[in-house]
Amino acid sequence: MKPFFITTPIYYVNDRPHIGTAYSTIAVDVFSRFQRLQGRDVRSLTGLDEHGLKIERKARELQKAPQAFVDGMAEPFKAAWDLLHCRFDDFIRTTEPRHKTRVQRMWQLVEESGDIYLGHYEDWYCVDCETFYTEKDLIEDQHCPVHKRRVEKLKEESYFFKLSAYTEKLTAFYESHPGFVKPEGRFNEVKSFVKEGLRDLSVSRASFRWGIPVPSHPAHVMYVWFDALANYTSELNLPLFDREKRHTLNRYWPSADRSAEAIHVVGKDILRFHAVYWPAFLMSAGLEPPSQIYAHGWLTVDGEKMSKSAGNFIAPEPLAEKFGADVLRYYLMREVAFGQDGDFSHTALQARYNGDLGNGIGNLLNRMVSSIVKKDLGGLVPDPVHRYGGFDHETDTTLVGVAKRSTQETASLFQQGLPHKALEAIWELVAAANKYVDSNAPWTLSKKGEHARLKQVSYMTLEALRWLSVMLWPVMPDRSDTLRKQLGLVALFPNPDTPCWPHVWGGLQPGTITQPGAPLFPRFEEEKKESARPVTVVVEDKTEATSSEPKHIRIDDFAKIELKLGLITEASRVEKSEKLLKLIIDIGEPVPRQILSGIGKTYLPEELVGKQVVVIANLPPRKMMGHESQGMVLAASDEHGLSVLLTDKALKPGSRIT
């Protein structure tokens, strides 16, 4: 099997992570985990795009030096991906020296091919896209077609890349690589764009400094897209090798003499850069284009693109805190057809949580391990009469048939880059296993004294759960570990060359000691009564974002919120959560309240004890990571962090805030 290299786009650091960028990141993590389970040698890469006018301006706006600003953004990204269980082999930042030298080398290779010349540029520039537009591309009144923002006229000396010379080469490449871009519809858009004829591309800027200097002319900095795209090969150290040897030295990049699969996952908005410019740069530098580009759609909120420049975004962290990171991963991968746009909705997330996860898989595990096996089988995986085949009961044969079909289909669908369909195929097995339990009703078998059948049915169901624990791992690695633990199995640690995708029925060892535990997906009963919005979803405070809501509320609306002064008497961390703190707060009631708050990244529990805070006292109680929270502590936040609202003098706990 070929080595497998997969990348996310590198993210602009002017935004914090949001569920749009989380979507690209999670998808790559899912694909790379799936390939690891197949026993492939996988390398996965993510990182940050830290240069360019957009970033320079943002730093200036915040009165920071660009380097200090970008340095401060790396941690939030790393922490967010970590929280979402996204694991990468490398994290590249375009301001790192290793990237700078390698991109400069790449530039030189392109220059040596005769594809770079000095000229003048005059056209419209959208800073949000970091792209030039010609007059005809603009929408009315000189606005960018993507961001609907006013573009700027730029005229300056610039280096150009001879993209026009690649029209035929690219067309020939597309013809000989029919699956180069997925989905096919987007590939067609790319092909027709190229067929119209390509214009040379401006690849340097002389009017600002925040970029990588052009080696032969340091007054120019490289166009941010040249710089950014090259991260994929600079991480692999490709262009540093001499022309003859560099292919054979690198296992993860495709080449004529060494096969590897390199896949870029990108949003549809940046497909052109990856499917047109990037292969042309690579060809010019004497390298092969990547194997494939998966272009996914946009996540929208109320039909609008989600990003800071669009004025609305949802941070992934509070959703992960509330439902669990794996649930958010599941929801995004299942709900949105990969390749198409999808709308994000809290109600749908909750419905998937309670339905597919809670009722589907959580319940299956619970009624088997915590009930039948525990009560009737001494907590051990039973020894069935028929373990590997030769079943004498039709429902057994059917279950194994569905399991085999489901694993094969799931593998093929993940392989094709269709995680939403792969999850549907997994859920065929979930449904079949639930149906199997329903129709065999093991709880009556024990009452009727049919022990042999009870053992058989329980074994079959436990084995189906074991298969599911593997199949679910790419999307829900943490829940898979928990599921396996309850089955008495160790967590999965895939290694290259040792595939663990299930294909032989009967692998679960009789006698294994199961470990019944808490439900995998406990229900959110209270949540259903509340509005479906989670507590701390971040909405940027731009007026556009809230313009559809009434501007003022009445004073009696405000009075409905019972705000009280609370004294924190105890504080501790919630297990397995970086962010959640469990606070015991005296608000003047006979029993102090237990309130969970997502402030654990900013505050140590011990520094909060003795502080007086503002509490919303009349919210319904709700469960967060298995703990009840009886209110909410107020905090303010911006892109640099958060701050809990404190009082400047001690008052009686429970004092009303008006």
Q: Which residues bind ligand MSP (CB under 6 A)?
A: 9-12, 20-21, 23-24, 49, 228-229, 231, 266-267, 269-270, 298-299, 305-307
Backbone angles phi, psi at 347, to 5 degrees: -65, -45
Closest separation between CB of residue 24 and ligand MSP, Å? 5
Burial of 582 (0-12, 13-18, 19+ CB in 10 A): buried
CB 566 within 8 A of CB 614: yes
The structure tokens 């509320």 sit at 553
**Closest to ligand MSP by CB, 74 or 249:** 74
Q: CA-to-CA distance for 425 and 413, rounded, in angstroms?
A: 8
CB 132 within 8 A of CB 140: no
User: What is the β-pairing status of strands 342-343 and 131-133?
Assistant: unpaired
Question: Tokens in use for 360?
Answer: 């589907």
Closest separation between CB of residue 246 and ligand MSP, Å? 21
CA angle (285, 287, 288) in 5-degree steps: 140
CA angle (444, 447, 449) in 5-degree steps: 110
Amino acid (one-letter) located at 129: C
Alpha-carbon distances of 497 from 87, 253, 500, rounded to whole Å: 20, 19, 10
Closest separation between CB of residue 222 and ligand MSP, Å? 13
CA angle (643, 83, 619) in 5-degree steps: 50
Closest separation between CB of residue 11 and ligand MSP, Å? 4
**Closest to ligand MSP by CB, 263 or 617:** 263
Q: CA-to-CA distance for 303 and 565, rounded, in angstroms?
A: 40
Q: CA-to-CA distance for 648 and 658, rounded, in angstroms?
A: 16
Closest separation between CB of residue 298 and ligand MSP, Å? 4
**Closest to ligand MSP by CB, 16 or 105:** 16
**Closest to ligand MSP by CB, 66 or 360:** 66
**Closest to ligand MSP by CB, 305 or 579:** 305
Q: Which helix (H) or strand (E) holds 570?
A: strand 563-573
Closest separation between CB of residue 545 and ligand MSP, Å? 14
Closest separation between CB of residue 14 and ligand MSP, Å? 8
**Closest to ligand MSP by CB, 11 or 174:** 11
Bridge partners of 615, per DSSP, are: 564, 633
Closest separation between CB of residue 623 and ligand MSP, Å? 29
**Closest to ligand MSP by CB, 126 or 615:** 126
Alpha-carbon distances of 593 from 156, 408, 561, rounded to whole Å: 64, 51, 17
Closest separation between CB of residue 312 and ligand MSP, Å? 9
CB 594 within 8 A of CB 584: yes
Helix (H, G, I), strand (E, B) or coil at 311: coil
Closest separation between CB of residue 238 and ligand MSP, Å? 15
**Closest to ligand MSP by CB, 36 or 305:** 305
Q: What is the CA radius of gyration of the chain?
A: 28
**Closest to ligand MSP by CB, 271 or 430:** 271
**Closest to ligand MSP by CB, 9 or 211:** 9
Closest separation between CB of residue 25 and ligand MSP, Å? 8
Q: What is the largest CA-CA distance in the chain?
A: 89
Question: Tokens in use for 552?
Answer: 């003022």
Buried b (16+ CB within 10 A) or exposed e, 413-424: bbeebbbbbbbe
Q: Which residue is nearest to ligand MSP (CB)?
A: 267
**Closest to ligand MSP by CB, 16 or 582:** 16
**Closest to ligand MSP by CB, 4 or 11:** 11
**How far does CA 29 lie from the centroid of its chain?**
7
Closest separation between CB of residue 20 and ligand MSP, Å? 2
Q: CA-to-CA distance for 422 and 36, rounded, in angstroms?
A: 16
